[in-house]
Amino acid sequence: MLHIVACIKQVPDTKIIKMNPKTNTMDRASAPAILNPYDAHAVEEAVRLRARYGGVVSVLTMGPPPAVKAIKKCIEIGADEGYMITDRAFAGADTLATSYALTKALEKIATIRPIDLIICGKMTIDGDTGQVGPGIARRLDIPPLTSVNKVVEINQDEGYAIVHRKLEDGYEVIRSTLPCLLSVEKEINEVPYSPLPNMLRAARYQPHIWSVNDLPDIDRPQLGLKGSPTIVSSVWAPAKPQGGTMLEGTAQDQVQQLLNVLLERRELLEVGRS
Amino acid sequence: MNFDDYRGVWVFLEEKDGVIAPVSLELLGAGRKLADKRQTELSGVLIGEGVTALAQSAFEYGADKVFVYDDPIYRHYRTEAYMRAVLACVEKHKPEILLYGATSTGKDLASAVATDLPTGLTADTTQLDVEEDTGLLLASRPAFGGNIMATILCKKYRPQMATVRPKVMKALPREPGRTGTIIAESIPLREEDVRTKVLEIVRATTRRVRIDEADIIVAGGKGLGGPAGFQLIHRLAETIGAAVGASRDVVEAGWIGHHHQVGQTGVTVTPKIYFAIGISGAIQHIVGMQNSGLIIAINKDSAAPIFQSCHYGIVGDALEIVPMLIQAFETALGRKEEANAGKV
Least confident window among B124-138, B142-156, B157-171, B296-310: B142-156
Task: Kindly state whether residues B289 and B141 are assigned to the same domain.
Answer: no
Task: Kindly state whether residues A169 and A267 are assigned to the same domain.
Answer: no
Nearest CA in chain B to A125: B145
pLDDT (mean) for B60-74: 98
Decide if B149 and A143 are in contact by the 8 Å CB cutoff: no
Model confidence at B307, in pLDDT bands (50, 70, 90)?
Answer: very high
Decide if B108 and A147 are in contact by the 8 Å CB cutoff: yes
**8 A C-beta contact, residue B24 and residue B101:** yes
Question: Whole domain around residue A113: which residue ranges?
Answer: 3-222
Model confidence at B344, in pLDDT bands (50, 70, 90)?
Answer: very low
How many domains does chain B divide into? Answer: 2
Model confidence at B338, in pLDDT bands (50, 70, 90)?
Answer: low
Q: How far apart are CA B319 and CA B134, in angstroms?
A: 55
Decide if A126 and B311 are in contact by the 8 Å CB cutoff: no
pLDDT in tens for each of the 274 residues of chain A?
A: 899 999 999 998 877 777 666 666 667 677 889 999 999 999 999 999 999 999 999 999 999 999 999 999 999 999 999 999 999 999 999 999 999 999 999 999 999 999 999 999 999 988 889 999 999 999 999 999 999 999 999 999 999 999 999 988 889 999 999 999 999 999 999 999 999 999 999 999 999 999 999 999 999 999 999 999 999 988 887 665 567 889 999 999 999 999 888 887 765 566 545 4
Question: Whole domain around residue B270: which residue ranges?
Answer: 211-343
Q: How far is CA A128 from CA A94, A149, B255, in A?
A: 12, 18, 24
Q: How far apart are CA B64 and CA B277, in angstroms?
A: 45
* B107 in contact with A, Cβ within 8 Å: yes
B contacts of A243 (beta carbons < 8 Å): 307-310, 313
> What count of Cα atoms within 13 Å lies in the side-chain half-sphere of residue A159?
7
A139 part of a folded domain: yes
| Secondary structure in 3-state letters for A95-155 | HHHHHHHHHHHHHHHHHHCCCCEEEEECCCCCCCCCCHHHHHHHHHCCCEEEEEEEEEEEE
Task: Kindly state whether residues A83 and A23 are assigned to the same domain.
Answer: yes
* B124 in contact with A, Cβ within 8 Å: yes
**8 A C-beta contact, residue A76 and residue A44:** no
* From B121, B201, B328, residue closest to A172, measured CB to CB: B201
DSSP secondary structure code for residue A250 in this structure? S
Model confidence at B287, in pLDDT bands (50, 70, 90)?
Answer: confident
B46 part of a folded domain: yes
Nearest CA in chain B to A144: B79
Interface of B with A in 317-336 (CB under 8 A): 320-321, 324-325, 328-329, 332-333, 336
How many other β-carbons are positioned within 10 Å of the β-carbon of residue A48?
Answer: 15
Task: Kindly state whether residues B23 and B154 are assigned to the same domain.
Answer: yes
Q: Measuring CA to CA, which residue among A20, A4, A211 is closest to residue A113? A: A4
H or E stretch at B138: strand B137-143
CATH number (domain holding residue A40): 3.40.50.620
Interface of B with A in 148-207 (CB under 8 A): 148-157, 195-204
Decide if A174 and B155 are in contact by the 8 Å CB cutoff: no
Shortest alpha-carbon distance between residue B243 and chain A (Å): 9
Task: Kindly state whether residues A185 and A252 are assigned to the same domain.
Answer: no
Residues B150-194 pLDDT 10s: 999 999 999 999 999 988 898 999 999 999 999 999 999 999 999
A99 part of a folded domain: yes
Task: Kindly state whether residues B10 and B118 are assigned to the same domain.
Answer: yes
Residues B21-35 pLDDT 10s: 999 999 999 999 999
B205 part of a folded domain: no
Decide if A245 and B149 are in contact by the 8 Å CB cutoff: no
CATH number (domain holding residue B172): 3.40.50.620
B200 part of a folded domain: no
A228 part of a folded domain: no
Task: Kindly state whether residues A73 and A139 are assigned to the same domain.
Answer: yes
How many domains does chain A divide into? Answer: 2
Beta bridge partners of B67: B45, B183
* From B151, B195, B315, residue closest to A143, measured CB to CB: B195
Q: How far apart are CA A63 and CA A240, in angstroms?
A: 34
pLDDT at B208: 60
Q: Measuring CA to CA, which residue among B89, B84, B98 is closest to residue B158? A: B98
CATH number (domain holding residue B314): 3.40.50.1220
